[in-house]
Structures are given as structure tokens and as C-alpha cells.
Structure 1
Amino acid sequence: MRRLGVAVAIVVVSTVSALADLRITRDHGGEVEKYKAKYRQIAERGERVIIDGICNSACTLVIGIVPRNKICVTPRASLGFHQAYTVVDWPIRKKVAHAAGTRELLSYYSEPVLDWIERKGGLTPQMKVVRNGPDLWAMLLPCPEEW
């Protein structure tokens, strides 16, 4: 009987973790390849993503990899977009725009996202942020339980 209880507990835990939400609250981005791999796994598992705060830079790849019907935004959500860049260390450490990387980023975004970026002058080194309101809602649906 005890083994049956352990087996049931394992099934319940694995089922709950398979249905877990990813809540993004303060993600400033990072290496693009790591984000692509992370979001592909989330999409494959069918998990829901709740953007509940800052989602900048490579974090925004979530909106191009995870299906739109599996993503929602809260009133605290914001998305920040900028050009892709690489960091060079010589002769001084600096960021250098990466045109091919920027084209790749853009290839992940839907028409409403691309339209907003275009209206804001395209991707530049400066972060362009969309916050709660009609522009964000054109990109992603609000989370019903958060309003």
C-alpha cells in the first residue's frame, strides 16, 4: 500500500509540474541561444507563460516561440526591444551592432510586434518598451485572472 501511495504522489507531482506556468517578472535578457532553447522546451511541454513584469531583450523571444494562445500579460507586463549586438573586448570592451542577429530576432515576431517596432523607428541600440495598454494587447492577450 505504501508503494502505491508513493507512485500516486510521483504521478501527481509530475502532472502538476507539466502543467506549471512560467511567470516572467524581471527578465532583462541574455544569450539568445539559451532563450531559444528554454522557450522551445516550454512550447513542447505546452506550458503557459504569464508575463507579469519586465521581459526585455532576448526574453521577448518567448512571444515568437511559445504559441500566442499560451501567453498572456498582466497589467505589470512590459516588453523591451533593441538591436542584437555582440560584445568585443579588444581594444576596449564595447557592444557592436549585429545586423544578422537583429534580422533573426525580427524573424520571430508577429505582425503586431513588427508594426509597433516600425512605428517606433525600428530596432536601435536603445531599448524601446511597450507597456500595458492597446499596443501591448495587440501583441498578446491579457491574463483573464489578473484583471
Structure 2
Amino acid sequence: MRITLLSLLLLCLAAATPARAELHITRDHGGYVEEYKAKYKRVREKGERVIIDGICNSACTLVLGIVPMNKICVTPRASLGFHQAYYDKAFTFGIKVTSSEGTSDLMSYYPDTVKDWIRRNGGLTTDMKKIKNGVELWKIIDPCPEEW
């Protein structure tokens, strides 16, 4: 294999350029809490940025308590949705059975700004409570800068 000066220069340039690791959330309706905790811990450990560019509901919102807030931003399409934790309906014969322990666990991860919004809006219930893009959301998460 022959290495040219140009290929060596390009290799050095690629090695010196920092990677722009980003997680784009565009349509995430949630899922198993423990899976999201593990996912977002990996994102935090890698120092990745998170761009919420659409729906982030249920367990997806754990990102707000696991990834540093200065690594998260929202676009004009962003929305967040919160509700009480419940058991997998596959194991409860299709009935939504809430978990007070799971709900307390979720709340323990959220920053105070999120907890305050939830309290002001009647606390977590079985119904989804949404924050759409705008002033209310920007009080919690900064809008994305143009370069993101």
C-alpha cells in the first residue's frame, strides 16, 4: 500500500477534527424507563449533545434529568409529554395500572424547572400533559443555536 502525502494529510486532518456527536429526538413516544436511563447515561458519558426536534414523550423526557441541560436544546418543532408511570399493559391484561413507585422514580430525575412545571399543571396523572415549543418550554430548555 502506498501512502501519498495528500492521503497522510487528510488522515491527520480527520484525526484532529472533533466528532460532532449528537442525538436527534424527532418522534419518541417513550418506552421502558430502565432502557432510557441506560441510553441517556451513555449519551452523558460520551458528552453528546441532544437536539429535541419533535415529540419527546413519557420515558424520553428522562433526558432532562440525565444529560446535562447545557447539552440539550429544542427546535421550533419540539414538544415534551409527561404522565404517571405505569406497568406494561401486556402484563396487566391491557389495563393501564399506574405505579406510584415508578412515578416517584421519574420525578426524582427531573430538574426543578420540570418539577415546577408539572406541579403548576396539576401533577402527573394518567393523561399526557404536553409542553409545546414556546416561552414555557424555553423556561426549561434553551432553544437550539443556529450552528446546532
TM-score range relative to shorter protein: 0.7 to 0.9
Structure holding more helix per residue: 1
TM-score (norm 1): 0.87
Q: Which residue of 1 aligns with 2:138?
A: 137
Q: Which residue of 2 aligns with 1:27?
A: 28
Give runs of aligned pairs for residues 14-93 of structure 1, distance below 5 A: 15-16=18-19, 19-89=20-90, 92-93=93-94
C-alpha change, 1:34 and 1:2, in structure 2 (3 Å) is farther
C-alpha change, 1:97 and 1:66, in structure 2 (3 Å) is same
Q: Deviations over 1:58-87 (max 9, x none)?
A: 000001000000000011100000000003
Unpaired runs of 5+ in structure 2?
Answer: none
Structure 1 outlier segments of 4+, above 6 Å: none
TM-score (norm 2): 0.86
SS in 1 for 2:146: helix
Aligned mates of 2:117, 2:76 — CA distance in 1: 19
Aligned mates of 1:119, 1:111 — CA distance in 2: 12
Q: How far has the Cα of 1:88 moved from its partner?
A: 5.0
Q: How far has the Cα of 1:122 moved from its partner?
A: 0.4
Q: Deviations over 1:74-132 (max 9, x none)?
A: 11100000000003556732120000000000011111111110111000010000011
Aligned mates of 2:89, 2:134 — CA distance in 1: 37
Q: Percent identity?
A: 59
| Residue 118 (1) aligns with residue 81 (2) | no
Aligned mates of 1:70, 1:87 — CA distance in 2: 31
Q: Deviations over 1:22-47 (max 9, x none)?
A: 11000000000110000000000101
Aligned mates of 1:63, 1:89 — CA distance in 2: 28
Aligned mates of 1:36, 1:3 — CA distance in 2: 46
| Pairwise CA RMSD | 2.5
Structure possessing the higher radius of gyration over alpha carbons: 2
SS in 1 for 2:30: coil
